[in-house]
Amino acid sequence: GVINTNQNEGTVCFDSKKKTMYFTRCPNAAKANLGCDIWKADINGEGFENVEKLKLKTDSTISVGHPCITEDGMMLIFASDMKESGGTKNAGGMDLWYVSFDKKSKLWDSIPKNMGSDFNTLGNELFPSIGPKGQLYFASNGWPGIGGMDIFEAERVSPTDNKWKNVVNKGYPFNSPGNDYAICDFDGKSGFFTSERKAGTTV
């Protein structure tokens, strides 16, 4: 299957068994108001097969992206500008949304649910990811922070529930007056994140 095309692809995640990859694809058609989509692909050796778009939106102008799947594979969290009804853009910018996996049909729910005010603000919430202890990371410019987009962390309520509480700003050295986002925490001791801080900023 083809993953890279003449469109824009990025922001990938893998299920815990490394058998399926989810990624964002954004059309680049001129003069077309088309939003991004989340796609999935099955991993077959060094290649991919069954590349298909997830049906998460009802309007082509809506954007869905930045997929993040829980370790048990039952919840796909992503960022979108859709309304609760699945309609067109809202004034609150990008929010965190999720769909649940139906084991019987082996499909994702067709109606996304908003993560709610425990996570979403009138600003933008983007780049969700799951940490090694099940914690939920995301970036926001709506929560109180150091500047621009900051990285936030919410602790998992219990080892068996895909629910989180106590959102906190990660602070320095993760966050800076610039934009900081897209954290990948390998083991609580090492990982990566993206920062647009000025060169020479002390962390």
Distance, CA of 119 to CA of 87 (rounded, Å): 20
Helix (H) or strand (E) holding 195: strand 191-195
For residue 156, the 8-state DSSP code is E
pLDDT confidence of residue 87: 54
Q: 190: phi > 0 → left, psi -120 to 50 → alpha, else beta; which?
A: beta
pLDDT 10s digits, 31-49? 778 999 999 999 998 889 9
Q: Write phi, then psi, for 119 (nearest 5 degrees).
A: -125, -40
pLDDT 10s digits, 70-117? 999 999 999 999 987 655 556 578 999 999 999 899 899 889 999 999
Q: Which of the four pLDDT bands, split at 50, 70 and 90, describes residue 57?
A: very high
200: burial class by Cβ within 10 Å (0-12, 13-18, 19+)? exposed
Q: Answer yes or no: are the C-beta atoms of 139 and 149 closer than 8 Å.
A: yes
